[in-house]
Amino acid sequence: MRKKIILSVTTLICIILLVIGGAVLWMRHRTIPETADRSNSIPTLYVHGWGAGARSTNSMIHYAEQYNDAKKVLTATISPEGKVSFSGYWPASAKRPLIQVISVDNKYYNYKVTQKWFGNVLQKLQKDYHIKRYNTVSHSMGNLTTMYYQVTNGQNKQLPALQKQVNIAGHFDGIVGIDDKPNQNLLQKNGAPKIQDSNFKYLNNHRQGYPKKQVDVLNIFGNLQDGSNSDGDVTVVSAKSLKYLLRDRYKDYQELEISGKKGQHSQLHENTRVDRAIGKFLWQK
Per DSSP, the three-state class of 33 is coil
pLDDT digit string, tens, across residues 68-113: 999 999 999 999 999 999 999 999 999 999 999 999 999 998 999 9
Own/partner pairs for 77-85, CB < 8 Å, 24+ apart? Answer: 77/102, 77/104, 78/102, 78/103, 78/104, 78/105, 78/117, 78/120, 78/121, 79/104, 79/105, 80/104, 80/105, 80/108, 82/113, 82/116, 82/117, 82/120, 83/120, 84/117, 84/120, 84/121, 84/124
* Distance separating alpha carbons of residues 221 and 268, to the nearest angstrom: 8
Quote the pLDDT of residue 26.
45
What is the tens place of the pLDDT at every residue in 14-23?
565 554 555 4
Q: HSE (CB half, 13 Å, CA atoms) of 51?
A: 1
Q: What pLDDT, on a 0 to 100 scale, did the predictor assign at position 24? A: 44
pLDDT of residue 31: 47
pTM of the entire predicted model: 0.88
**Interatomic CA distance for residues 30 and 266, integer angstroms:** 32
Nearest partner of 49 among 2, 114, 96, judged by Cα: 114
Reduced to 3 states, what is the DSSP secondary structure of residue 184? Answer: coil
